Structure 1
Amino acid sequence: MRPHEVLPRVSTHKADLRAQSFLSLAAVAILCATTGAAFADDPPAKPKRPAIKSNRWQEDWSVLADPALATQPLDRLKYLPLSAADPGTYVSFGANVRERFESNSAPGFGIGGVERDSYLIQRVQFHIDLHLFEDWQVFTQFEDDRAFGKKDVGPADADQLDLRLAFLAYSHDFDAGTFKARIGRQDFAFDLQRFVSSRDGPNVRQSFDAVWADWETGPWRFIGFVSQPVQYRDDDPFDDTSNGDFRFSTVRIERQVLGTNELSAYYSLYQRENAHYLDGGGRENRHVFDTRFAGSSKGFDWDTEAMGQLGDIGDKDIRAWALGARAGYTFEDVGWTPRIGLQFDMASGDDHPGDNTVGTFNPLFPNGYYFSLAGYTGYANLIHLKPSITVKPTDKMTLTGAIGLQWRQTTADAIYVQPNQPLSGTAGHGGAWSGAYGQIRLDYAFTPNLTGAIEAVHFEAGDAIRRAGGHDGNYVGLQMAFAW
Structure 2
Amino acid sequence: MVALCACQFINGQEYPAFRPLRYDEDYTVLEKDTVRDLYDKVKYTKMGSNGYISFGGDFRTQYLIIHNENWSNATQDKDGYTLNRWLFHSDLHLSGNLRVFAELQGGQANSTEILVPVQENPLEPHQFFIDYTFSDALITLRAGRQEVTYGSGRVVSLRDGPNVRRSFDGVKAMYKKDNIAADAFYLHAVVDRTGIFDDTSSPNLRLWGAFSDIRLPGRKLNLNLYYLGFYNDRAVFNDGSGKETRHSLLARVFQNWQRWGYDVEGAYQFGSIGERTINAWSVALSTLYRFPEIKFSPEIGLKADLISGDKNRFDKSHQTFNPLFAPGAYFGLAVPLGPSNLMDIHPSVTVHFSRKITFVCDYAFLWRYSRGDGIYRPVMVPTFAPGDAASRYIGSQLSGTFICQPNRYVTLLAGMSWFDCGNYLEEVSPGENILYGFVSAQITL
Question: Do both proteins adopt the same fold according to a TM-score greater than 0.5, normalized to the shorter chain?
Answer: yes
Code of the aligned partner of 2:100: V
SS at match of 1:249: strand
Check whether the contact 1:368–1:375 (CA below 8 A) recurs between aligned residues: no
Alignment of 1:126-275 (within 5 A): 126-171=88-133, 174=136, 178-234=138-194, 236-257=195-216, 259-275=219-235
TM-score, normalized by length of structure 2?
0.92
Check whether the contact 1:220–1:254 (CA below 8 A) recurs between aligned residues: yes
Code of the aligned partner of 2:44: Y
Structure 2 distance, partners of 1:95, 1:306, is: 34
Check whether the contact 1:280–1:358 (CA below 8 A) recurs between aligned residues: no
Structure 1 distance, partners of 2:292, 2:443, is: 30
The answer to whether 1:415 aligns with 2:375 is yes
Deviation for aligned residue 1:426: 6.4
SS at match of 2:203: coil
Q: Which residue in the other structure is 2:86 paired with?
A: 124
Deviation for aligned residue 1:61: 2.5
Check whether the contact 2:330–2:338 (CA below 8 A) recurs between aligned residues: no
Deviation for aligned residue 1:298: 5.1
Change (3 A) 1:437 1:173: farther
Deviation for aligned residue 1:247: 1.2
Check whether the contact 2:184–2:210 (CA below 8 A) recurs between aligned residues: yes
Deviation for aligned residue 1:396: 1.4
Q: Which residue in the other structure is 1:82 paired with?
A: 47
* CA deviation profile, 1:246-274 (whole Å, cap 9, x unmatched): 11001122222352311121111101112
Change (3 A) 1:131 1:305: same
Q: Which residue in the other structure is 1:471 paired with?
A: 432
Deviation for aligned residue 1:462: 0.7
The answer to whether 1:431 aligns with 2:384 is no
Question: Which shows bigger deviation, 343-352 or 212-221?
Answer: 212-221
* CA deviation profile, 1:305-332 (whole Å, cap 9, x unmatched): 1111111111111111111110111112
Q: Which residue in the other structure is 2:20 paired with?
A: 54
Code of the aligned partner of 2:191: Q
The answer to whether 1:70 aligns with 2:36 is yes
Partner of residue 92 from structure 1, selected from 26, 42, 54: 54
SS at match of 2:71: helix
Structure 1 distance, partners of 2:280, 2:240, is: 14
SS at match of 2:408: coil
Structure 2 distance, partners of 1:301, 1:156, is: 33
Code of the aligned partner of 2:329: Y
SS at match of 1:63: helix
Q: Which residue in the other structure is 2:360 paired with?
A: 400
Change (3 A) 1:68 1:474: farther
Q: Which residue in the other structure is 1:22 paired with?
A: none
Structure 2 distance, partners of 1:293, 1:453, is: 30
* CA deviation profile, 1:266-298 (whole Å, cap 9, x unmatched): 111101112111212111100111111111235
Q: Which residue in the other structure is 1:329 paired with?
A: 289
Deviation for aligned residue 1:169: 1.6
Deviation for aligned residue 1:480: 0.4
Query: 4+ runs of 1 displaced by more than 4 Å?
Result: none
Q: Which residue in the other structure is 1:385 paired with?
A: 345
Query: How many percent of aligned residue pairs carry the same amino acid?
Result: 28
Change (3 A) 1:447 1:325: same
Code of the aligned partner of 1:98: R
Check whether the contact 1:415–1:427 (CA below 8 A) recurs between aligned residues: no
Alignment of 1:34-45 (within 5 A): none
Structure 1 distance, partners of 2:71, 2:385, is: 12
Change (3 A) 1:396 1:416: same
Unmatched runs of 5 consecutive residues or more in structure 2:
1-11
Structure 2 distance, partners of 1:50, 1:172, is: 25
Code of the aligned partner of 2:53: V
Alignment of 1:236-315 (within 5 A): 236-257=195-216, 259-297=219-257, 299-315=259-275
Check whether the contact 1:292–1:303 (CA below 8 A) recurs between aligned residues: yes
Deviation for aligned residue 1:107: 2.1
Check whether the contact 1:57–1:139 (CA below 8 A) recurs between aligned residues: yes
Deviation for aligned residue 1:427: 3.9
Check whether the contact 2:151–2:224 (CA below 8 A) recurs between aligned residues: no
Structure 1 distance, partners of 2:142, 2:435, is: 42
Deviation for aligned residue 1:237: 1.1
Question: Which shows bigger deviation, 323-332 or 255-264?
Answer: 255-264
Check whether the contact 1:63–1:69 (CA below 8 A) recurs between aligned residues: no
Code of the aligned partner of 1:259: R
Check whether the contact 1:99–1:123 (CA below 8 A) recurs between aligned residues: yes
Check whether the contact 1:197–1:366 (CA below 8 A) recurs between aligned residues: yes
Q: Which has the larger radius of gyration?
A: 1
Code of the aligned partner of 2:354: T
Question: Which shows bigger deviation, 246-255 or 421-430?
Answer: 421-430
Query: Aligned Cα RMSD in Å?
Result: 2.0
Structure 2 distance, partners of 1:150, 1:144, is: 17
Number of equivalent positions: 431
